[in-house]
Amino acid sequence: MISIQQFTFNPISENTYILFDETGECVIIDPGMYDAEEQNTVVKFIKEKKLKPVLLLNTHCHYDHVFGNKFVYDNWGLKPQFHKGELYVLQAMPGYVPQMGLHYELSPEPEVFLPESGKVNFGNSQLELIFAPGHSPAHLCFYAAADNFLIGGDVLFYCSIGRTDLPGGNHLQLINSIKNNLFILPDDCRVYPGHGQSTTIGFEKQHNPYLQ
């Protein structure tokens, strides 16, 4: 069984997730820690739980989701894994993030890129890859079928959807991703988004004003 620890970090209030199971192996998804206090929070949690980080995953490469990639690499030797269609998004960041008044430590680039479908494994656990572009050009979500939850990044939110006005965004594509790739999951599947509170697939089918 996978346990989920959520942290909300950085000036954009991004949700960072650590998933771990009974083996003690853990996956860090979308590390958004921005300053020393937030970095220390993650280190403390991993030490207290006696966890071993084995994977660093990014749903997509917008800056608020990768602020901590360099820190994770420096501490645990993990390079990020994401879909190759996000690489140019990552590479563009040094050119504009500092102009926003934000501090950005250069993320390492992947040695392994994730495909549009397939699985990643850690410990005794497995996450299915779900390709859901629209908010960003090659966004992935991570579905834990055995535990029926989704780490959804910035695709589907509580009564909302990801913004599509950023480079590589496409509103129609995002709607199609949600309806065709996420709404096929069980109604009681819990969705843990990149911002804000969790929700369920069934609730969003019924109540999300963008998807009626």
Given this model, what pLDDT does residue 167 score? 86
Are the C-beta atoms of 158 and 180 separated by less than 8 Å?
no
Are the C-beta atoms of 129 and 140 separated by less than 8 Å?
yes
Mind listing the pLDDT tens digit of every residue in the chain (212 residues)?
999 999 999 999 999 999 999 999 999 999 999 999 999 999 999 999 999 999 999 999 999 999 999 999 999 999 999 999 999 999 999 999 999 999 999 999 999 999 999 999 999 999 999 999 999 999 999 999 999 999 999 999 999 999 999 889 999 999 999 999 999 999 999 999 999 999 999 999 999 999 99
Q: Which two tokens stand for residue 81?
A: 């894994």
Residue 15, beta-bridge partner list: 8
Domain count, the chain: 1
Q: How many CB atoms lie within 10 A of CB 169?
A: 18
Query: Rounded to whole angstroms, how far apart are CA atoms 162 and 196?
Result: 12
Vertex 79: Cα angle to 76 and 85 (nearest 5): 155
Query: Rounded to whole angstroms, how far apart are CA atoms 155 and 32?
Result: 17
Give the CATH number for residue 59. 3.60.15.10
Are the C-beta atoms of 181 and 131 separated by less than 8 Å?
yes
Q: Which two tokens stand for residue 104?
A: 């950005």
Q: Which two tokens stand for residue 84?
A: 């190759």
Domain that holds residue 206: 3-211
